[in-house]
Amino acid sequence: MLILVLSIIIVVTCFIYWNGENNERYWKKRRVAFYKKNKVIGVFWNYLTDNRPMFENFYDIYKQYPDEPAVGIGSFLTPTLYVKDPKNIQHVLVTNFNAFNHRGFEPNEDDLLANSIVFLNGKKWQLVRQTMSPLFTSAKLKNMFYIMDKSAQDFVKYLKDNPRLTKGETFNILSTFCSAAIGATVFGVTTESIYNSPFLKVAQKAMEPTFRRNTQFIIANISLRLFKLLNIKLFKEFETFFIGAIKQVLRQRERENTKKHDFADICVQIQKKGILRDPETGLELQPTDELLAAQGFFFFVAGVEPTASAMFGTLVELGRHPEILKRLHEEIDRIFEKCNGKLSFDAIIDMNYLDMVMSEAMRLHPS
């Protein structure tokens, strides 16, 4: 038994060594700089062992190779290239997008909440993305403004009722607001505060970085075959609650036949139109409650942290520059006075200096 265990350890060690050396040879042969810190799984090892987000690990490589247009990084069996040069990035994201539209990740089919435009690929992604596009227009945001405004008013009351929350942990507080506002745009506004809603806890838990979820994410990125073999499901624990909630909201909206200009409205409209079809390939998708619930879940997963980060970065910079804070405060007061203390979508669009301040803060603190 001991000999068997030792043999397995030796084989695994040799394979890891061969894989790392093979990664380095692959890029050296193509005259591409190679990140040697971990030759096998590169930044993913740092991501798993350090308490830092993925982009910070990539930023370290960016600074380490300032003159290189791209850097090869360690990956399990599949060679991986970190593209740095803006012109090459333009080709990948726009010019040759058809060749690069696969995210390198495919959810397992029965991981229902992972079937969103965040994780889908190819024509299936394109079909769902086109169907959901009305959510991203200025007109739709304008119609949704009252939902965000109600969430903000609830937020003020929430902070007044819980003064201890104002004593630090600013980012978490902003994340709470963003979770609540996005939850309200998905499920609609009610007379009760969204901050008392169970959806808020689900949203926060779904985005919480844990060792288990980080490990699953790494496996998904370094070996799709192993990910499929292990049948890993990223969001299985939230399916019963979230899909059940979406079903309940959609059936209620169908019965009431009312429009609230939120995500649920769009889902009802999509289901009334029937099967989604791609005219080029003939691909068909049934807009089931589960498929639409996955898109709603996407707003929680992909919408909260970038928004909270942008707000947090703005507050940090305003704290460092009181003269800019004063000028911004004057603009906000002027707009409030102009609209008699009642904010609207158009009133916020008129806040040009606020737009400049947030844009600069996001430049300094990218999500």
3-state DSSP assignment of residue 83: strand
Structure tokens that stand for 344 in this block: 């609207």
Structural domains present in the chain: 2-100 (no CATH), 113-320 (1.10.630.10)
d(CA 274, CA 265): 15
Average pLDDT by consecutive 10-residue portion of the chain (367 residues)? 78 78 88 87 80 85 93 82 92 87 79 86 85 79 86 89 83 86 76 64 72 81 81 86 87 82 85 86 88 85 84 96 97 92 89 96 89
CA–CA separation, 69 and 54 (whole Å) = 20
Query: 75-105, pLDDT tens digit by residue?
Result: 777 788 999 999 999 999 889 988 887 877 7
86 contact partners, CB below 8 Å, separation of at least 6: none
Residue 357 CA to residue 363 CA, distance in Å, equals: 10
pLDDT for 135 equals 73
* 256: amino acid identity, one letter: E
Question: Regarding beta strands 70-73 and 80-83, do their DSSP bridges make them parallel or antiparallel, or are they unpaired?
Answer: antiparallel
Work out the angle between the directed axes of helices 289-320 and 322-338 (0-180°, nearest 10).
120
Q: What is d(CA 346, CA 339) in angstroms, rounded to the nearest whole number? A: 10
Cβ partners under 8 Å of residue 344, min gap 6:
145
**Residue 130 and residue 79: Cα distance in Å, rounded?**
32
**Three-class DSSP category at 277:** strand
